[in-house]
Each structure stands twice: as structure tokens, then as C-alpha cells.
Structure 1
């Protein structure tokens, strides 16, 4: 029998193995051999047979101890995409992109982004739980494999994908000894006093045989061995077989056996435990105790009982407890969740529970928006990331009910900080467009106005000025019609941002100044207001008024540090770094920029990160490290492809890049510069950030004077020549994720 030790993740995004992987040595070896000969291998089998654990164990083997050939074959990592919670085909590509750590702010189709990202990479992509989207998943996998010669896919589902070149690996239940070892392992984890003895061995083997060795059934049975002897469990199981025989006509016996095992566990639950099981099925993916108490409690299930009932479901292996960056969370295995969902439908309570679920996540989004402007900003980002499947489900619930469409507009508008601040522009645009297709009654106008200015914001960051301007003008006019001064301020603010990234600095200064005055009149103070102040500072810097720009940004920095706000602070740091560089203080400029890079990377703020890297490259060449500057500039280039319009098409924002290119080229020549840039383009974002924070290592060339002060006004656009460069007090018109 082969037992695999738990391994730590080294690269890629594989989830940790939370319990010992028992047996399956022959299957692991066979699966790894197939992956050596085929670019697509699909593990198939009945629900609960252990497909997910097998592919995870195989992925960990390849990641941690693969042969030299395997290490070369997967030199860009082993990546895990969990698809079991994805039910709408629209989210399939989002989920795969998220799994790959891919951030893109453009209006390009996400499938195009995926294919371009994978085109020159060599990696293993693991797709788990695709069966509910088998047709859509097959189309996606076919296209990714066709366009990405270095990609290999390992999939796990109840049926094959039926894609050309696919090798199917049918997974049977483990052999008798391995089934017994698994049952013993899980039972002893729940009860340290449990052990296999000569006295109980035969009964345990008989129990494994009755459950056909299916791992999920064994884990459910292990929960009962705490209270019952093996003979008692077998006797009760025999009764349940007689009671729950059946299932779909023509279904495999093992499939009926699995349902029997789950049904037996359901029958052994107390009525309150069964009710909580059914109600918990409304959650998608993970959830926390607070959510469970709000959504599931009622007169027939007191809120004070939920914690104890959750504990009982954990004991019976019907819930899984997980430690996450967002704290302790719970989830149901999908087969268990579906069984509970069937009972909830039979009770006629599914609609009410979905609305309770929606209400909880609307409240959670509201509190997260408030907490975004606080020291909990990082925690908020982690929480919304963990709750994204449930937030999607809540948005779908809003769209399903015509009389509640305004709630969808409110929810997607409230999540502006996540769409813009955490690298989710594409998904935010998806929801904003969907919810704004509908016009609710005039009594819900404020929800629509908020969604409109958020759409204008997101579209501007994506380089889509037409859609942005259309949404912002509609918001401005609606705010004037309904007397909503806050919505009016946001509309003017975002129109000022459009002017900023379009090089119309005079208009940008006017609009941003007006917006700032309106925010103050309305008593509004949050990350948006502070960002407006930073953007006003940018326009002043571009117009040759550095003193005013520095004063504004120092004030923003002070407020951010007082409130614990990080995201907006990063952009104030950028402006201050440029001023330090222009004054010849490269040490201060580097210190400010490394903090800026660290914050932007933590929040997945792609635009903020790439702009900070480009200015850091100019600092680096000024310090006398032209080759390292070329590497940083090269690393920034593919990042711009994910942003959309490179440097917003702006001459002002392009100045640091052009100056770095010129000065580094003068020192090391175009050939060496190109070689450094090629090396930079091959870096992952994690490697780039680590390199930027570490600083240049080689001995510097001759120290250089600070950059020449650049003219503040020119007629030309970016790339027109050295005389057309402009200062970049801050190269950013809007924060983005």
C-alpha cells in the first residue's frame, strides 16, 4: 500500500492536502504515465469515488518531485481550477482566469486573453468538477489546447470531455485493503482511540464491501464509528439499503450505493441537522458561521442552535472546515450539497432561502464598502475574494426577479471597490452591463445612478471612453433631475478622469476641482474622494504646478495613514516618488516606489503596479543600473497588454518610459537593452515584484545625474520624439485593479 506525505505548495496554486492521501499508488503511477504521452487526460468515475483527491495528489507529485522531463514540461507551474461551484457558462472563463492568477482590464473577450496568456507557456492545468458544464468546458479546452502547444490538461469529472486526443482514465473504487486503510485513517482522525484489531477487522472489511469501497461513503461511515461498533454500522446500513434502493433507471449500482450512503447518513441525522443540511445547500462554495446563522435560522431552527448543529455536521463529515485568508470557513462536498438541495426543493422552501441568502450578501457588500476605507482594507479584499461565488449567486437572484432588479444595480454598484481595486474590471463590467439593461421604477433611481457612475469608472479603466462617457452623462443628468448631489459629484469626478487620461489637463483640473468641492459640500470622505484629490494633483503636475500637486498628495498620504487606507495611498506615493526623482533624491524615490509596488501587487491593481514599475525603471537607470532598468521595462510591456490601451495613449503618461529607454540605450546600446527587455518579458508577476522589491544587485555603472526636467506642455503625443516628452507627476488617471 502506498501512502503519500502531505506536501507544501511550491509553485502554481494547488490547494493543500488537508488529510493523508491513502493508497492509489498504481493509479497515481498510471496517471503520471498518461500525462507523459497525452496533452489531455480525464479521470472519470462515479461521484465520491475519489477523482478530485487523485488528481490533486498527482498534481502535487508532479509539482514537488517530478522527473527532470516533467519539471521542464511544467516549467510554468501546475494550476488548479475548481469548477464544481460554477453553474452558469458565463463564469467558466472567469474561473479559469482566476485560477491562473490572470488579471485583465481590457474589453477583449476573456477567451482571447486566456489563449494569449497560455500561448507561450508550458504548464499543467487541472480542471476539477466540470460535469455540469461539460459541453462548454470541452469547447474551451479544445481551443486552449489548439492554441497553446505547451499546455497540458488534467481533468476530473463524471464523464469524459470527448475532445480529440483525450485519454480517459476510469477510476474504480480502491481495492479492499486500501478501502480498509482509508476507513481506518478517517475513523482514527475523528476518534484517536479507534484502531483495526483482530476482533473488528472482519466487520470493517464487510462494511467496506457493502459500500463498494467508495471513498465518500467510507468517510461518511467513519463518522458513525465514533458512536457505533462496526457490526452496528453494518446492520443499520443493511436496513437503509432496503429502504433506499432504487434511483434513476439504468444508473450504475455504485451510483445507487453512493446515494444510499448519503441517504443513510441523512436518516441518521436528527431533524434539526437535516433541516440545516438542506438550508446550507443554498450556499455556493464556502461560507462562514455568521452567514449560516442569518440565512438558515428561523422559528423552527433557533439561531443559537446553528453552531452546535454545524459541529455535528462536521463530525459526520457532511461539512468540511477550512482555514482561509478570510478566516474559518465551511463548505459541503458537492454531492452532499446536491442531496441537501433536493430536500430543500421538496420542502418548498428554496425560493425563500435564496432571498435570505441574497439579503445577507447585500448586507455584507455594504459593510465591506464601508470597511474599504479603514485599516481592514486587506481583510475586505480577502473576504470578498472568498465570497465571490456567493456574491455571484446573489446577483443572479436579483436578475431572476423583475421586481428586484434595482437590488442587482445596488449590489454591483456597491462592489465598485472590488471591481476597480482588486483586479476584477472584466467581471465588474459583465455585471454592470447586465443589471443596467433594465430600468426600474423612479423610486429606485439612486441605485441606478450609482451603477452608472461605477460603469463609467470601470469602462474608463478598460480604455473604453465612449461607453464611459455615455454612462457618466446619463448619471450626471439623472442626478440633476432627481436632486442627488453625491451622484452628481461622482459623475463629474469620473468625467474629470476621462479628461486626465485624454491629455486635456485644463479640463481635468476644472472637473476634478469641482468634484472635490462637491464631495466636501456633501460631507463625503472615502477612498474615491481621496483619489479625486490625487488625480487633481496629477493634472497640476502636468500643468507645471508641482507645489500644489505635492501639497495635495502629502495631505492624502496623511489621511490614508491616519485611517489605515492603503489603496489610494499607493497613488499618492507615486506622485511623491516622481517629485523625489525630479529633485535628485533617488533613494527616497525608490523607497516610496517599493512601498507602492508592494501595495498594488497585494491588491492585484495591475495598472498601479505597471506604472510604478516603469517609474522604478527610470529610478534604476538614474542610479546607474541600465541593464536592470531594461529588465523592468521589458517586464512592464506584457502587463500593459492586460490593461488595454497602453499608457492610455497619453503623451504625459508616456514620458518616464521614453526617458528610461533613451538613457539606458545610451549606456548599454540597443542590443543589450533589447536582451534585458526580453529577459524581463519572461518574468512572472511574482518574480517581477520580488525583483523590484529587492532592488538592483549588479555593481552600478557610473552614477548618473537626475533626469532632466521635462517641459510641461508639448503639442505632440507619446512617441513623437525626445522633445515631446512631458512630466509624469503621476502616470495614472484612475486607480485600477
Structure 2
């Protein structure tokens, strides 16, 4: 079945149903009934029988109409077909749930805690290659989350206690014919079922056992072949394509017949492209297809036409995404092509070409991150993440190319740190650095890059020990090899670690030293500007507001000139801090509003929570302690995903403690707690909308004395956990 782009909302991410759900009324009703009585329902069946479509239709029905939702915390879909590494299973579920966590806690623990009090329907699709891992995770989540229900689609059951399975058979003949006719009409508006062709169409459905995927493929051919011609070709191919191992399930032979029949109908060039495209995971674009698949036997200028042919035959799906037009192979189609590629003996070469393309893509994206195209780069890397993962796996599979994996994992620093992917970045950095083998001295620059990026990611996660070990190794290795740039990055990130550890004097020293080294090496990018912002932040915390304003004002100008927004957001935070110190609440709000907007767009949780807490303090100074308590209450739980060890004390904790103290004095303990609890109920989207509403709100009346001044000073109160 065609897969559609996900439609993200506050309560779910189910894809839009664009091609229509035909038939299956009885099956849909039965799955709904099972969901009413069981917390785990798995729809099973052969590939291509329509499991995904049925499960999505059942999920939409279970969700209810707007205002009548059965699951108050929504319905969420996790597509697992592209997840190759079992270690990424929990991260994929977290992403589907809209959950961001930057700590070193196990992702499974984070998931269980997040779902513990939720009333939510989780839809899992395509888990069969990770059945044991998925079963274990589902079992644990169901045990710890009494309000959770799971609706799964796979070729086999999960075999978890309490599971109710629903084996999905092919549709009845009338529904099969209706599906074939609908898909054929979509491909060719002139197509119609007539008295002359009805018998042939009924026979086609019968020969294909009514399997929806086979009918989709047949419908694509009905644009150029008559029903009688399609039927004749099926007759010619059945002997070969159903002659598998004796005792095999008929459904399996029927699916193989459908895919193999479509394969035989392709030209040799189309078959070759089909096989080569199977090296992609998830979506890909035309440029990638041309680079990876072209060769002496397939001119690059001919790939576009071949892609068009595969698209016309429903072997590819075209999708509009934030990263542009992209293509995807249905998984059963991709697997058939992969088997063909293996039989050609060309799989290893194509996988390396795939890796090389994504190495180049990551390099280009890193360079383009320091430009007005940051959002486009973020969207592109997000779309290409399954392929980047596959490229990293390819590097790890070959010890002599481990340096490429280190380079790739390090080159994606901007995505790990700037787009809310710290946990996944840590996963790949640890794997590439811990893997034995490779010529370390020859490719030391790649290892040094991975080390400073690991130090950066670990520091943001609150893992000071791992961060320091990686950065000292990078610094020492850079000194031995004379790598001035790597040395500057190591010193910079040691300064960053000192900053988040509240050692401001040490941070000022190291960040100043790193900035000098960057300038001496001629380095200028988002990292260099972030170093300058972090130095400004240290100066601001130490009371040198003129120095902080000079540094961050310069960064702001450079960012606006270059179109850089991610680093700019942190500069705006420091400028807002300084403005609030000087009593400029209006300027501080304006600066922080832009900061919140940017960080939210990039999914940068660290920058977002810092800005929101300072904005809550601004709100107190503006005379609305009730709204400040709401904002503070909403922001505080976000710290659990940032790193409690480092960001929960000292300088970074001062706005939070001051907001609690001032708003609490004005509201009283009970009212402050009530408004704070109101904030904790806000989702992130709602919180950001509320924060950006700003001065347009009407302040709630305060029964106690006047509002204290806005001055931000380091709290003398003991650090507490958020």
C-alpha cells in the first residue's frame, strides 16, 4: 500500500488517507472490537495483504472525532521498517511520541516514565525484523503504563502475554475487484469495468489471490495492457514464479508471484535500477539515485526516465516532504530487489557507493549549516537519517574504513547538537570510537573530530566524565599531530564543559584561548561563533555586562549577515540576560521571543528551556506572576531531558529560583503551586505559542505587594533538582 506523509498534530501523527480505504468493513469492526477488550492487538498476515492500511484505518477510527477522542493523549504511529539497528528501536519510539531527552538515562527508562500516566494508542508497523526486541519493549511499556494500548502490524505475532492476534486474509472477491478498479482508474481516468472486461478482471483478482499489493501492481499495468493481456501474462509466469519450496505457504508463493511477475514485466534496465535502488533505506531523492545507481551499463542521463517508469508501475512512491520531492520503495518491493542485487554479486559495491554519497552529503550539509539554509539543511538531514544510519553501519562493518565512520559521525555534530539528537549522536560516536581496528595514526584527524564532538555531546547531556576524557584525548592527540584546528575545538569544548559546570573563571580562560586559536587558524563557522557566545555568557554571569554585550552583539551582526540562526539564538539569550539586568524588560522579552522561536524550530531543547525560564522571570518583572508561574511550571519538566547534573544548579539555575521566589511571594504558596501545575499540563507546542503571545496577554490581578525589580543575580540558595 502507498505510504503517505505523516500529519503531525498535538494528539497524533497518523498519515493522511489520500487514496481511499476500500472494503474491509468486517475486518475493521473486528479490530476495533479487539482494541476495546485488549491492550495489545496485532494484525498479522503475509506481506502486501494490507495490514498497514487496516491498522491505520482502525487507529483513525479508535482516535475518534475531534472533541470526542477516546485517547486523551493521542494516537501515535511508529514505523519500524527502516530501523536496522536494534539499539535505535527505543529512540524511534521516542521520536514517534514527540519525546526529546538529552540525558544519559536509558531510552527505555525515559519511554516508560513518559508513558506511565498517559492514555495513548501506540501503533507499530513493520517490526518483523526486530520481533524479539520489539516484543520485549512492548511488554515492559505495557507493564508500566496502564493507560497504554498497542496496535501492531507484522508478519508474525509478538507473542507477548495478553496479546490478541487478528490474522488478515486477502479481501473477498468483490472487494478485490473494487480495489483493482479503483487503483486502475486512479492511474488511467479512462479505465472502467465493463461487461466485456469484467470476467478477465475477476480472473486476475483470483489468480493473484486478491492480495492488495499484487492488485496495486496489476492496476499500474492496466494503463498499457488490456485485462486480457494482463491475464495472459499471468498465465505465462505462474509456473516459474510459484515453483518455490514444497510446503511453503500459498500466500507466500502468491506474493512472490506478484512481485516476480512485476519484475519480469520490467525492461532489463528497469530491473537493474530496481535492484540498485534497494540499497537505500527509506526515502531518497533523484540526485542520490543518479549517483549511486549510474554506471557504464546505466548512463546517468537515463536514470530519470527509468525512475519515472518504476513510479508509473507503482514500484516507487513519490512523496512531497519538507526536503523536497522524494521517492520510497515499498518494503516488500525493496526486499525483492535486494535479493536480485545479491544474486548479481553487486551488493557490496553499491553499498559503498551509497555510503560515499552520504559522506558527501553530510560534508556539504556541515558547510551549508553556516548559511541562510540552516532550516533546509536540518530538514534534509532529518529526511536522510535512515540512509545516514545505513552509511554509518557500512563504515562499521569494515575495520579498514572505520575512520570514515568517525568522520561521518563527527561531521553530523550540527545535527546531533543543534537539532535535538544528542542521544542518537552519542550512540554513533561511541560506536565508531570504541570499535577496534583501523589505521589510527593515518586517519587521526577523523578520530580527533569524533572525539571533540563526543566531548561536546556528552557535556550537553550532563556526562562530565565522558566529556572530559574525550576532550583531553582530543587535545593530546592534536598536540602530537600538530592539528591546530582540532586543538582549538578541544579547548573550546573544555571551556563549554567548565561553563555548564559553573566554573566561570575557568570557562572564561579556556573559551578566550580557544577563540584566539580559531582566529589564528582562520576558522569561522557556527562553532566559532558559539565559542564567542559562550565566552559572552561567562562574562555576563561574572558581572561583566559590557564585555558580554560587545561579544554577543558582534555575533548577532555576523549571524544576520550570514543568515545563521541557531547560534544567533544563544547570542539573543545573553543579550536578553543583559537587558533584564539593566531593567529593560521590553527589550528582554523581544529578544527572548525570537530566541524561543528559533530554538523550537530546531528542536534545540537546551536553548529552549534556558530561554523559557528567563522569559518567566521577565514576566514576573512585567507584573504578571501568575503567567510566570505557568511558564516556569511548564519549563521545569523539560530539564529532565537536558541533563540534571550540570544545568540544574548555580548560574543556570538562578532565573528559575528567582522566579519561584518572586512569583511565590506575590501569589502565595498555594496559588503559585496551582499555576505551576497548570503549566505542567501544557504540551511543548502549546507552551511555545503561549510564551510567544507575550505582551498581548492581560495580566492577572495580584493581591499582594508590588513587583520586585528585574535584576538577575546569581542565586545564593542551594541548587535544587528541577
Q: In which range does the TM-score fall when normalised by the shorter chain?
A: over 0.9
Q: Does 1:18 align with 2:41?
A: no
* Structure 1 pair 65–249 and aligned structure 2 pair: CA distance change class (3 A): farther
Which secondary structure state, in structure 2, belongs to the residue aligned with residue 549 of structure 1? Answer: helix
- Which stretch has the larger CA shift, 679-688 or 491-500? 679-688
Distance 1:710 1:552, change over 3 A: same
| Cα-to-partner distance string for 1:323-348 (whole Å, 9 max, x where unaligned) | 11111111111110000000000000
2:317 corresponds to 1:320: yes
Of stretches 54-63 and 479-488 in structure 1, the one that deviates more from structure 2 is 54-63
Distance 1:478 1:32 in 2: 60
**Aligned twin of 1:388:** 385
Q: Out of 331, 335, 352, which is 2:332 matched to? A: 335
SS in 2 for 1:544: coil
| Structure 2 residue matching 1:393: 3-state secondary structure | helix
Against the structure 1 CA distance between its residues 235 and 471, is the aligned structure 2 distance closer, same or farther, given a 3 Å change threshold?
A: same
In structure 2, the residue matched to 1:105 is 102
Structure 2: gaps (5+ residues): none
Give, in angstroms, the shift of residue 56 of structure 1: 1.3
- Rounded to whole Å, the distance in 2 between the matches of 1:405 and 1:212 is 48
Q: Name which of 115, 125, 129 aligns with 2:126.
A: 129
Aligned pair 1:52/2:52, yes or no?
Answer: yes
Q: Secondary structure at the match of 2:15?
A: coil
Cα pair 1:635 1:682 within 8 Å, conserved: yes
1:554 aligns with 2:553: yes
Query: What's the secondary structure of 1:392's corresponding residue?
Result: helix
Q: Which runs of 5+ in 1 are unaligned?
A: 721-730, 732-737
- d(CA) in 2 for partners of 1:699, 1:650: 30
Name the residue aligned to 1:686: 685
Give the Å deviation of 1:582: 2.1
- Secondary structure, aligned partner of 2:298: coil
> Which deviates more, 313-322 or 165-174?
165-174
What per-residue deviation string (whole Å, max 9, x for no partner) do you get for residues 466-492 of structure 1?
111111111111111111100000000
The structural deviation recorded for 1:159 is 0.8
Task: Give the match's secondary structure for 2:478.
Answer: helix
* Residue pairs, 1:519-598, within 5 angstroms: 519-598=518-597
Tell me by how many angstroms 1:578 deviates. 1.6
Matches within 5 A, 1:221-620: 221-437=218-434, 438=436, 440-441=438-439, 442-620=441-619
Distance in 1 of aligned mates of 2:224 and 2:541 = 74
What is the distance in 2 between the residues matched to 1:316 and 1:136? 35
Q: 1:329 to 1:622 in 2, by over 3 A?
A: same
- Could you tell me whether the CA contact under 8 Å between 1:7 and 1:64 is conserved in 2? no
Give how far 1:61 is off.
2.6
CA deviations 1:178-210 (Å, max 9, x no partner) are: 111111111111111111112211211111111
What is the CA–CA distance in structure 2 between the aligned matches of 1:585 and 1:624, rounded to whole Å?
14
The aligned length equals 713
1: CA distance, partners of 2:579 / 2:5: 49
- Cα distance in 2 for partners of 1:169, 1:67 equals 29
Quote the Cα distance in structure 1 between the aligned partners of 2:467 and 2:671.
41
CA contact (8 A) 2:5 2:320 kept: no
Task: Determine the C-alpha separation between the residues in 2 that align with 1:551 and 1:489.
Answer: 22
Equivalent residues of 2:316, 2:327 under 8 A apart: yes
CA contact (8 A) 1:63 1:78 kept: yes
- 1:443 match: secondary structure: coil
Match of 1:30 in 2: 30
Structure 1 distance, partners of 2:716, 2:198, is 87
Q: 1:234 to 1:421 in 2, by over 3 A?
A: same
Moved more, 468-477 or 618-627: 618-627
Aligned-residue CA RMSD (Å): 1.9
Q: Tell me how far apart the structure 2 counterparts of residues 678 and 7 of structure 1 sit (CA, whole Å).
A: 32
What is the rounded CA distance, in whole Å, between the counterparts of 1:675 and 1:268 in structure 2?
67
1:659 is paired with a residue whose SS is helix
- Check if 1:709 corresponds to 2:705: no
1:180 and 1:208 in contact (8 A); partners too: yes
Segment of structure 1 superposing worse, 492-501 or 689-698: 689-698
Indicate how the Cα distance of structure 1 residues 352 and 7 shifts in structure 2: closer, same or farther if over 3 A, else same: closer
Counterparts in 2 of 1:7 and 1:284: CA distance versus 1, 3 Å = closer
Q: Give the structure-2-normalised TM-score.
A: 0.96
Describe the SS at the equivalent of 2:213. Answer: helix
- Once residues 556 and 575 of structure 1 are traced to their aligned partners in structure 2, the CA distance between those partners, rounded to angstroms, is 11
- State whether structure 2 residue 719 is matched by structure 1 residue 718: yes
* CA distance 1:389–1:719, change in 2 (3 Å): closer
Distance 1:711 1:310, change over 3 A: closer
Structure 1 residue 13: Cα displacement: 1.2
Structure 1 residue 649, shift from structure 2 partner: 4.1
How far apart, in 2, do the equivalents of 1:169 and 1:719 lie?
A: 50
Shift of 1:636: 1.3
- Change beyond 3 A, Cα 1:625–1:337: same
Instruction: State whether residues 403 and 446 of structure 2, in contact with CA within 8 Å, keep that contact through their aligned partners in structure 1.
Output: yes
Q: Which whole-Å CA distance do the structure 2 matches of 1:45 and 1:552 have between them? A: 62
Task: Name 1:74's counterpart in structure 2.
Answer: 71
Which one is further off, 517-526 or 688-697? Answer: 688-697
Q: Distance in 1 between matches of 2:203 and 2:187?
A: 21
Q: Report the secondary structure of 1:106's partner residue.
A: coil
Structure 1, residues 612-642: CA drift from partner, whole Å, max 9, x if none?
Answer: 1111111112112211111111111211111
SS at match of 2:442: helix
Match of 1:217 among 202, 214, 218: 214
**Matched position secondary structure for 2:284:** coil
